[in-house]
């Protein structure tokens, strides 16, 4: 099944929450290039993001904070669409859930809430 068809067959839920994006360079999060984005929609295999920044690498960690816990999701950029006026939509494929202990350099970010 082509990616376009698969994407429209799976259940996608509109969801807008603030997240923190860490571009990955050789498996290491680039804290200096971290930025915030807003989710557009989510599915079991991916997340759509809207931001006014660019993801400079093919992979990124996404930090999602909930009321009870924080998750780090490993993702790959699958599609990029310019929306105009500096805004960009990224379709991110979920490649795994990262163990928070795998990235000790992110300890200051894990568990904190975006303002």
Q: Is 112 domain-assigned?
A: no
Q: Is 111 domain-assigned?
A: no
Q: Is 114 domain-assigned?
A: no
Helix (H) or strand (E) holding 65, with range, is strand 59-65
Range of the domain at 12: 3-106
Give tens-digit pLDDT for 56-104.
999 999 998 776 778 899 999 999 999 999 999 999 999 999 888 888 8
Q: Is 115 domain-assigned?
A: no
Domain count along the chain: 1
Say how far apart CA 11 and CA 7 lie, in whole Å: 8
Say how far apart CA 89 and CA 87 lie, in whole Å: 7
Say how far apart CA 23 and CA 34 lie, in whole Å: 7
Give 53's contacts (C-beta < 8 A, 6+ positions apart): 21, 35, 37, 88
CATH, residue 14: 2.40.10.220
Q: Is 85 domain-assigned?
A: yes
Q: Is 41 domain-assigned?
A: yes
pTM above 0.75, yes or no: yes
Q: Is 87 domain-assigned?
A: yes
């Amino acid at each position: 099944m082509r990616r376009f068809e698969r994407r429209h067959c799976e259940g996608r839920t509109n969801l807008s929450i603030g997240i923190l994006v860490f571009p990955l360079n050789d498996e290491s999060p680039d804290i200096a290039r971290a930025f915030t984005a807003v989710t557009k929609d989510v599915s079991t295999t991916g997340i759509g993001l809207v931001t006014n920044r660019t993801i400079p690498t093919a992979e990124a960690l996404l930090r999602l904070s909930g009321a009870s816990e924080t998750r780090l999701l490993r993702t790959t950029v699958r599609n990029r669409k310019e929306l105009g006026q500096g805004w960009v939509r990224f379709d991110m494929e979920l490649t795994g859930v990262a163990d928070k202990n795998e990235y000790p350099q992110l300890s200051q970010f894990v568990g904190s809430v975006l303002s």
